[in-house]
Structure 1
């Protein structure tokens, strides 16, 4: 039976612009007939996997997403003394392993390729061999992709290689877009910048005038981890899977999106976390906030807990075990939460 770990988080952010749309304003979504703030799943995952939390907990097991692999390989070959024309040709052959190239003559991959540490090492190990032997790579040497790369972020969030789907990795973790539990109105911050060397001899006005959108809110976030899929993705390495789940839990609780942080200083930890474990079919608790919450954090916690009880009453126990962290009243701990998600 599949074991699912589900995380439900409530995180309060002061005025901020955490995740911008194409106009530079905070992303929103309409739910329950009202507008909510939104932080996209892509934004959350990007900030978690590139965080110091991941780097410290999973050093050596984090991949790189890039289009520029061919350019790096070409430079490595040129630095090693290979002629530019050969270096470009050989680098293109290596880069094409990870995806279709952008255009004739380019060594940039069309789509971002998520490359594991061992694949990265294999690529540059091959480049060094080509430098030493001054020759093109063989067909056999270009078999650089790995079916079960030991990269925790790839195992958690998956990867797609459109030109070689046999090396795709099914994501073991699903992450919902975070939304506020209440209605919001995006406001505009009108600001000016002053020229420090302007003595007022000619003009006392500002050197720059601008505006930026912002809003504050209490967000509900939801993650679901398929532990068995994660272990499979990591080639059966249960210890690494446990480390990955602990790192993901800490990052989800502590790491804030970096959008406009210098302007708003809106870093925040989760105020409340509910973790659930079991083989039951997963479900989000976002319906608890279909009717917007009007009060404070305690009201959101109460609404979430009430929905948990109601789901259990209707469908039977929706989880085998649960663990809570509540920073509003000082109950629970991150350490206990991490031990819970990694429990076998």
Structure 2
């Protein structure tokens, strides 16, 4: 049976706009007929990947998402002494393994990029460089699918690819199913974006014109957000080629990042650096379940954070009574009640990985 690790977090954001829509306003959602502010799962996953916990604790085990593999390979080959045209030809052949390339821009024919982003692991990047060098050296190499197998991997040490998956449109054999599911975070109460205007003064024009040198407007919001994350631990280990020790490091980094990392939209304007006020981590072999239903009826009473914790725990208890517990072990951090610590949550998450 599969082991699942689930996280339920409540985080308080002051006035901020961490995740913007196409008009620059905070993203929103209707839940239970009430307007809420929302953080998209994509923005949360990006924040996790960019966090210090991933960058430092998982150094050497993170993938790169890019359209620019061809240009990067070309530059590295040229830096090693290769002819520019020959280097570009070899790089294009290798980059084509990860997806189709765009037609060269007539104004900048040297800039060759892919039509879609490719999520490339460190192992695959090294193999791509090696293959490009072999092509440049004129080696007799296999074609098409056999050539792809020299670079693409179904499992390796890229923790973020193992967690969040990838899709290669041109070769589904090397897709990786995400081991970590991240829900959209929503406010537990009614919340809507507010509009604000701002001005800037021309420092060299104080005497002649006392008005503003620039006027603008932007939107922001605030609230208590519920975030749900579910980890298929067995799939994570499989995606990492069976490396349970690396999976444990990844789970620890994930737990720490979930508590602190945040999308950074308009951060310089609002200085939002929240930390989770409540974390409930659950581990077990039962089918997972989220607790969004706790907030379909918006929290209305103050203090919202405390009431949100109560609503979440009440929903968990009701679901467990009806279906049986969805976990075998749990760990809780509650800032208000003084329960638990992030170190305990991180250790609990790491212990979810199988031991030898």
Normalised TM-score (structure 2) = 0.92
1:194 aligned residue: 201
Deviations 1:127-161 (A, max 9, x none): 44556x4x377336662111212100000000111
Structure 1 Cα separation of the partners of residues 207 and 135 of structure 2: 65
Question: Is structure 2 residue 241 aligned with structure 1 residue 235?
Answer: yes
Instruction: Label 1:137 to 1:194 Cα distance change in 2 as closer, same or farther (>3 A).
Output: farther
Equivalent residues of 1:39, 1:179 under 8 A apart = yes
1:44 aligned residue: 44
Question: Is structure 2 residue 315 aligned with structure 1 residue 307?
Answer: yes
1:94 aligned residue: 94
Q: Counterparts in 2 of 1:177-216, with a 5 A limit?
A: 177-201=184-208, 203-216=209-222
Structure 1 Cα separation of the partners of residues 140 and 350 of structure 2: 43
Q: Counterparts in 2 of 1:2-13, with a 5 A limit?
A: 2-13=2-13
2:67 aligned residue: 67
Question: Is structure 2 residue 177 aligned with structure 1 residue 174?
Answer: no
Question: Is structure 2 residue 242 aligned with structure 1 residue 244?
Answer: no
Equivalent residues of 1:91, 1:107 under 8 A apart = no
Instruction: Label 1:11 to 1:137 Cα distance change in 2 as closer, same or farther (>3 A).
Output: farther
2:339 aligned residue: 331
Equivalent residues of 1:90, 1:137 under 8 A apart = no
Equivalent residues of 2:94, 2:131 under 8 A apart = no
Structure 1 Cα separation of the partners of residues 259 and 51 of structure 2: 12
* Structure 1, 101-110 or 310-319: larger mean CA deviation: 101-110
CA root-mean-square deviation: 1.6
2:288 aligned residue: 282
2:228 aligned residue: 222
Q: Counterparts in 2 of 1:105-184, with a 5 A limit?
A: 107-129=112-134, 133=137, 135=138, 138-139=141-142, 143-184=150-191
Deviations 1:286-325 (A, max 9, x none): 1000000022211000000000110011111221121100
Structure 2 residue runs of 5 or longer lacking an equivalent are none
Q: 1:98 is paired with a residue of what secondary structure?
A: coil
Structure 1 Cα separation of the partners of residues 170 and 132 of structure 2: 22
Structure 1 residue runs of 5 or longer lacking an equivalent are none
Equivalent residues of 2:28, 2:192 under 8 A apart = no
Deviation at 1:64, TM superposition (A): 0.4
Deviation at 1:339, TM superposition (A): 1.6
Normalised TM-score (structure 1) = 0.95
Moved over 4 A (4+): 128-131
Instruction: Label 1:80 to 1:141 Cα distance change in 2 as closer, same or farther (>3 A).
Output: farther
Deviation at 1:224, TM superposition (A): 0.2
Deviation at 1:114, TM superposition (A): 0.5
Match of 1:256 among 262, 284, 306: 262
